[in-house]
Amino acid sequence: MKKVIVLICVMLLSIGVTSAQSRFSFGPKVGVNLSNLYIDAEGVDEGDIVGIKPGLLIGAFAEYDFTPAVGISVDLLYSREGTESNRFDYPSQKGYSYEHKYSLQYLNIPVLVNFYLARGLAIKAGIQPGILLGAKYRVDWEYGAESGTETEDIKNDLRSYDISIPIGLSYTFDYGLFIDGRYNLSLCDIMNQSTKHELELDGVSYHKLKNRTFSFSVGWKF
């Protein structure tokens, strides 16, 4: 997390040198992700794994407007994603229930083309590479009067990157405040082939595991 904050500060300082030119703008942003995981697997019910998980989104952006109607922007974002389930009763073991959570952390660098439909209102689309910073799997279980929590680091089970296509809308007010909403369409299967092979030995055949994320943020343009 400290490294991410340092990178954001460096980005803001470097952009600030050129911000005197009116076509440049930059600033901080913060928001929330609503994410889950798309799973395509034999022997696994998607409903047993997938659920909406809220997560932090924070970072900085820079934008250059070629014309009043078209611009390009680059973000540097620390993003918490993943999924969390509802509580389930284990069908073959009476009295046993559980819920689980996948917590993924990415450093995302979306590059977007912004098309301004009207003053302040823009539609945007582009490409977003993401670097996996960390990943954990947590299970909270109950069995009768007993309960417990188990946590596992699964970073090595996943690919070190993700690539997605962000599509969204933003509106900038005259005084600099803006709001931004996006959906990130993931192009990558984020599970390692070696992990899939291990799961196949246990009777689970994974075909795809993908991130699905809606993000909503607010920020300030300087």
pLDDT tens track for 1-56: 656 555 555 555 555 444 445 689 999 999 999 999 888 777 555 555 668 999 99
What pLDDT is recorded for position 89?
A: 60
- Return the bridge partners of 121, or none: 118, 171
What pLDDT is recorded for position 199?
A: 75
Task: Return the H-helix or E-strand segment holding 3.
Answer: helix 2-18
Measured CA to CA, the distance from residue 139 to residue 90 in angstroms comes to 13
Q: How far is CA 188 from CA 125, 165, 212, in A?
A: 18, 11, 11
92 vs 84: which has the higher pLDDT: 84
What pLDDT is recorded for position 205?
A: 74
What pLDDT is recorded for position 26?
A: 96
Q: No. of H helices and E strands in the chain?
A: 2, 11
Instruction: Kindly compute the dihedral angle of the four CA atoms of residues 213, 49, 199, 80, in this order, to the nearest 10 degrees.
Output: 30
Whether residue 106 has pLDDT greater than 50: yes
Encoded tokens for 51:
């659920």
pTM of the predicted model, to two decimals? 0.84
pLDDT tens track for 132-183: 999 999 988 887 778 888 999 999 999 999 999 999 999 999 999 999 999 9
Place of tokens 């993401």: 130
Measured CA to CA, the distance from residue 222 to residue 62 in angstroms comes to 10
